[in-house]
């Protein structure tokens, strides 16, 4: 029997849904069930005390996309444990990218705000609008999310290019041509719409700064569905407020609520992005946390990983702790 511990506190309905989909050789436990000998740990932010309490772990599966920095630091001290994650919310995140792109391209937020006050002015002020058809779209981080978003852009008539750190193939699964990150500056000069879908690592933090934004033109649109710190905070604000770029759609931020008490009072940035008309602001909804259908998808993806382990097959989405993804 392969014992699997699902760490943390999760909805019992979801745990039961996962348990029903597992190979009979897998025994799924929660922390309420006690620990003992565990072969697989499911958890995003384990600590040293937990690993000491359940020795013998061979695999850690993070039940979402990404790698928390605290987990990366911890697991570097446990090289015998293989670390994996899942990408159950790739569809949701890519749909958010498209929604932000479209809203920013047509400046829908200020138009909506004005029409609610019976003001039709934005109908006659569309000189800053951008058509997706014929636009040059650059996907920075053409992975599970970026590739899906790029495919939609291609279907809308855009010319789409993708960037990966070191692409192993010339085209993505969706047929998007891939280039290495060394070509970033060259490609930014030719970009109308930049979609940032990278993981946050020491190498990618601030990858889009003042110089990179300067390479874009004054109608370019920037969409960020990766992590806030991928784009330099002040540079993004300065370029938007000075109309050095056209617009932005941002789902990931620089400051987050510290708890339930601050959910309705935490500014997402030290810069006053909320005063600008040319930005669409979303409170990190791309992953659709607690969406019932996506929670089911989380469990389906976990079941796939666990069942492949039980069958003696490689567990998908192995993380390189040094690269951070």
Same domain, yes or no: 173 and 267? yes
Nearest C-alpha neighbor of 33 from the set 11, 7, 51, 52: 7
pLDDT over 80 at 289, yes or no = no
pLDDT mean over 6-17: 87
Residue 273: inside a domain, yes or no?
yes
How many domains, the chain?
2
Residue 319: inside a domain, yes or no?
no
Domain extent, residue 6, equals: 2-87+291-310
* Distance, C-alpha 211 to centroid of its chain: 24
How many whole angstroms separate alpha carbon 55 and alpha carbon 90? Answer: 33
Same domain, yes or no: 139 and 265? yes
Bridge partners, 175 (sequence order): none
pLDDT over 90 at 54, yes or no = no
pLDDT score recorded for residue 277: 96
Same domain, yes or no: 142 and 270? yes
pTM of structure: 0.92
Same domain, yes or no: 39 and 112? no
Nearest C-alpha neighbor of 280 from the set 152, 154, 123, 113: 113
Same domain, yes or no: 169 and 183? yes
Same domain, yes or no: 251 and 108? yes
Among 263, 281, 299, the domain boundary falls at: 281
Residue 286: inside a domain, yes or no?
no
Same domain, yes or no: 243 and 267? yes
Burial zone of 291 (CB within 10 Å; 0-12 exposed, 13-18 middle, 19+ buried): middle
Going by pLDDT thresholds of 50, 70 and 90, the confidence category of residue 232 is very high
Q: Tell me, what CATH number does 209's domain have? A: 3.40.50.720
Same domain, yes or no: 102 and 251? yes
Same domain, yes or no: 53 and 143? no
pLDDT in tens, 91-136: 999 999 999 999 999 999 999 999 999 999 999 988 999 999 999 9
Residue 322: inside a domain, yes or no?
no
CA dist 23 → 41, 43, 165, 299 (Å): 16, 20, 36, 14
- 121-128 contacts at long range (C-beta below 8 A, 24 or more positions apart): 128/219, 128/246, 128/247, 128/278
Same domain, yes or no: 124 and 32? no
Residue 315: inside a domain, yes or no?
no
pLDDT score recorded for residue 62: 97
pLDDT over 70 at 199, yes or no = yes
pLDDT over 70 at 214, yes or no = yes
pLDDT score recorded for residue 291: 81
Residue 23: inside a domain, yes or no?
yes
pLDDT mean over 146-170: 97
Residue 251: inside a domain, yes or no?
yes
- What are phi and psi for residue 292, nearest 5 degrees? -55, -45
Average pLDDT, the chain: 95
pLDDT over 70 at 35, yes or no = no
Residue 71: inside a domain, yes or no?
yes
Same domain, yes or no: 305 and 264? no
In degrees, rounded to 5, the angle at the alpha carbon of residue 272 between the alpha carbons of residues 270 and 275 is 165
pLDDT score recorded for residue 34: 65
Same domain, yes or no: 166 and 242? yes
pLDDT mean over 293-317: 96
């Amino acid at each position: 029997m392969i014992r699997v511990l699902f760490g943390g506190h999760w909805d019992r309905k979801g745990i039961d849904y996962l348990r029903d989909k597992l190979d009979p050789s897998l025994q799924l436990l929660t922390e309420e069930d006690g620990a003992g000998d565990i072969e697989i740990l499911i958890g995003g932010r384990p600590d040293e005390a937990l690993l000491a309490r359940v020795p013998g772990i061979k695999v850690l599966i993070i039940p979402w996309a990404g790698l928390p920095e605290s987990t990366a630091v911890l697991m570097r001290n446990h090289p015998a444990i293989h670390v994996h994650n899942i990408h159950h919310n790739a569809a949701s995140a890519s749909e958010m990218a498209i929604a932000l792109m479209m809203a920013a391209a047509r400046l829908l937020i200020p138009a909506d705000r004005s029409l609610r006050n019976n003001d039709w002015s934005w109908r006659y002020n569309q000189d800053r609008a951008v058509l997706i058809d014929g636009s040059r779209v650059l996907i920075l981080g053409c992975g599970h999310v970026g590739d899906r978003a790029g495919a939609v852009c291609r279907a809308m008539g855009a010319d789409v290019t993708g960037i990966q750190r070191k692409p192993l193939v010339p085209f993505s699964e969706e047929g998007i041509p891939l280039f290495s990150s060394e070509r970033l500056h060259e490609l930014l000069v030719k970009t109308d719409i930049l979609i940032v879908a990278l993981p946050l690592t020491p190498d990618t933090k601030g990858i889009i700064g003042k110089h990179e934004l300067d390479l874009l033109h004054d109608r370019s649109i920037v969409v960020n569905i990766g992590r806030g710190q991928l784009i330099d905070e002040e540079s993004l604000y300065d370029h938007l407020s000075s109309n050095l770029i056209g617009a932005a759609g941002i789902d990931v931020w620089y400051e987050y609520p510290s708890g339930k008490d601050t959910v309705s009072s935490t500014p997402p940035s030290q810069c006053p992005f909320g005063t600008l008309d040319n930005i669409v602001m979303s409170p990190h909804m791309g992953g659709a946390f607690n969406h019932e259908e996506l929670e089911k998808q989380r469990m389906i993806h976990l079941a796939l990983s666990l069942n492949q382990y039980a069958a003696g097959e490689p567990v998908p989405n192995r993380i390189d702790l040094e690269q951070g993804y």
